[in-house]
Amino acid sequence: MLRKLSLAIQLTLFLSFLPAGFDVLDLQAGEKFRGTAANGPMGKSPGVHRWFEEGEDKMLRVEGPLLHSVGATTANIEWWSSRPAVFRVNWGETPELGNSQTLLRAFAYHPTNPLEKFNTFSLNGLEPDTRYYFQVEFVRFENGEDASSVQLDEDITSFSTLPDHREPRTLHVSPRGDNDRSGRSREEAWRSINHAADQVRPGDTVLIGEGVYTEKIRIRVTGDEELPITFKAKAGEKVVLDGAGKQLQGVFHVFNNKDYLRFDGFYMRDFGRGPTGAFGLIRSKNIRITRCFHDGREPGYDPELLTASSVDNLVVKNCVTLRGWDGIGLRNVTNVLIENNVFVQPNIRTIPGSFPDREQVRIKNNILTDNLASKRNAFLVREGTLLENNCFWLRFPEEERSVFGGGSGGRSLKSYNEEFTVEEENFVANPRFVALEEDEEDTPTNGFFDGAILRKGNDFPDFFTTHPDLIERGIGLIPEDFDDFHFHINLKDNDQ
């Protein structure tokens, strides 16, 4: 309490010295985020912030671009705009530049992925010890309109890559940490994952200690092909990412060439459905998401586990998504592997999207259950994917359920198996989850669709299959991959 009063007094005294264009977030609003990395509404902290007024004159003001960080083969650029807008980034080894990418709105089925006021862009595959030049240009506002005036430094800026890679580090985060520390040991742990996402560099591993973190995390640094960046829970410790009653939307934002990233071992709960899924991936590649538990059972609309647009080489493995809006939304993706996951009762669809080439999205060894009864006419998986050795658990007889859909309407699992040849066919069966193993009959109402799984399924082992055929065929979660987990740890909001 004394600490809060002290902070409040400091901010009150500071108000009279603020220049025009700055504002302070209310401390009472920040109370919901007490002790977290954000400490304020919608991922902001109480205190002084640069405040942009959008206005009605269609003027655009931009702060930056700034060079956030540079490595031997990578560089990360940031800028802030007064309104969401489309920008073009130009770069090259000479002032003539020569390379260009326009950062258009991207979307994965629905909802649309956003243009934000915070902008980040990374360059990959650069040469060590080499000078590069870059420039950021305004193209148009989010709604397609032009600006009446633009305050943006469009001068060409240069930087030099490092002569060699930095030595990879192991960095630590803890609910009892402090962002003013070094982050190099458990005793010197940082307080927030966002701070680690700001400080991390190619090759680093961020180990996150047990507790509840109320954060929306923006990835600001790209990894490298030989030096991926890893965010993971410490072995045997439960890390819960909490959306504070759906006040936060999205957990990890991975935008604009943030490549070679690994995410492992997170529990995510009570985030609001917004422009992206819990993981929002846009224009990035070589992303691996493993052993994450997405819990969408709280009242209100929860996001998808993941949405990805213009993403290459994505792996999602050993994850559970429970009662989200959809399971995973994909669009314009290549080299995607979704394997050994469990999708439980999505509100509408399990894997919607747009897949022009069925070889690009492989879905194998998963358990996919039916959706809400009120949405029973919606297909579960968009046509155009390669499905092999998946178990479906349906409310209705197989021949009566449209599992696949698209522009040509719905079709059954049987028709898919007849049209496409795979090594191991997809089939319908009760997966007999551990949480419901006393219910042995293969009937839709027996323990699963009557709501029991929503009461009993609280951790990964609750969704291990006990069905001998599924075990033999390697379908569902792989229990031995969780040997370093401690299950059914009940963390409260005050474990922060």
Q: Does residue 134 sit in the same domain as residue 220?
A: no
**Cβ partners under 8 Å of residue 163, min gap 6:** 72, 128, 129
494 occurs within a structural domain: no
Strand pairing class (391-393; 427-428): parallel
Q: Does residue 202 sit in the same domain as residue 175?
A: yes
65, 109, 476 from 157: Cα distances, Å = 9, 37, 50
Question: Residue 491 is encoded by which pair of tokens?
Answer: 């963390």
Q: Which tens digits make up the pLDDT trace of 150-166? A: 999 889 999 999 999 99
Lowest mean per-residue pLDDT among 155-159, 166-170, 345-349, 402-406: 402-406
133, 390, 442, 464 from 431: Cα distances, Å = 56, 11, 9, 9
Strand locations in 356-401 (E): 361-364, 367-369, 381-382, 386-388, 391-393
Q: Quick one: what percent of the chain has pLDDT higher than 70? A: 83
Q: Does residue 132 sit in the same domain as residue 185?
A: no
Taken in order 278, 317, 261, 241, the sign of the CA dihedral is positive
Residue 112 has a pLDDT of 62
Lowest mean per-residue pLDDT among 48-62, 78-92, 380-394, 481-495: 48-62
**Mean pLDDT score of the chain:** 85
Mean pLDDT value of segment 361-368: 96
CATH number of the domain bearing residue 112: 2.60.40.10
14 occurs within a structural domain: yes
Q: Which tens digits make up the pLDDT trace of 262-291? A: 999 999 999 998 888 999 999 999 999 999
408 occurs within a structural domain: yes
Greater pLDDT, 113 or 34? 113
Residue 109 has a pLDDT of 64
Q: Is the pLDDT of residue 126 over 70?
A: yes
**CA nearest to 495, candidates 246, 293, 240, 270:** 240
Q: Does residue 106 sit in the same domain as residue 177?
A: no
Domain count, the chain: 3
Alpha-helical regions (H) of 188-235? 193-199
Question: Residue 213 is encoded by which pair of tokens?
Answer: 């973190």
Mean pLDDT value of segment 235-264: 95
Q: Which tens digits make up the pLDDT trace of 66-109? A: 999 999 999 999 999 998 999 999 999 999 999 999 999 887 76
Q: Is the pLDDT of residue 367 over 90?
A: yes
Q: Does residue 85 sit in the same domain as residue 37?
A: no
**CA nearest to 284, candidates 254, 327, 263:** 254
CB–CB of 278/305 below 8 Å? yes
Q: Is the pLDDT of residue 485 over 80?
A: yes
Q: Which tens digits make up the pLDDT trace of 425-474? A: 999 999 999 988 765 555 555 455 667 777 888 999 999 999 999 999 99
Domain stops at, among 160, 192, 215: 160
Query: What's the number of CA atoms in the CB half-sphere (13 Å) around residue 365?
Result: 18
CB–CB of 303/276 below 8 Å? yes
For residue 399, the SS3 value is helix
Question: Residue 144 is encoded by which pair of tokens?
Answer: 């397609």
Residue 110 has a pLDDT of 60
Residue 1 has a pLDDT of 37
327 occurs within a structural domain: yes
Question: Residue 470 is encoded by which pair of tokens?
Answer: 């599924």
Residue 271 has a pLDDT of 93
Q: Does residue 141 sit in the same domain as residue 228?
A: no
Q: C-alpha 376: how far from its chain's center?
A: 27
CATH number of the domain bearing residue 210: 2.160.20
Q: Does residue 91 sit in the same domain as residue 45?
A: no
Range of 145's domain?
Answer: 59-160
Strands ordered across the beta sheet of 99-102: 99-102, 85-92, 131-141, 157-160
**CA nearest to 308, candidates 348, 335, 290, 345:** 335
324 occurs within a structural domain: yes
436 occurs within a structural domain: yes
489 occurs within a structural domain: no
Mean pLDDT value of segment 105-126: 82
Question: Residue 372 is encoded by which pair of tokens?
Answer: 């809400």
Domain stops at, among 50, 68, 86: 50
Residues 443 and 367: their CA atoms lie apart, in Å, by 16
Residues 385 and 396: their CA atoms lie apart, in Å, by 23
Q: Does residue 341 sit in the same domain as residue 214?
A: yes
Mean pLDDT value of segment 223-228: 96
Residue 45 has a pLDDT of 44
Residue 35 has a pLDDT of 37
**Any idea what DSSP says for residue 481?**
G
Domain stops at, among 160, 190, 225: 160
Task: Region of 451 please: left (phi>0), alpha (psi -120 to 50) or beta.
Answer: left
Residues 158 and 173: their CA atoms lie apart, in Å, by 33
492 occurs within a structural domain: no
Residue 13 has a pLDDT of 42
Residues 440 and 283: their CA atoms lie apart, in Å, by 45
**CA nearest to 78, candidates 49, 38, 121:** 121
Q: Does residue 206 sit in the same domain as residue 294?
A: yes
Q: Is the pLDDT of residue 21 over 80?
A: no
- Confidence class of residue 57 from pLDDT cuts 50, 70 and 90? low
Q: Does residue 126 sit in the same domain as residue 254?
A: no
Q: Does residue 113 sit in the same domain as residue 235?
A: no
CB–CB of 457/449 below 8 Å? no
Q: Does residue 7 sit in the same domain as residue 108?
A: no
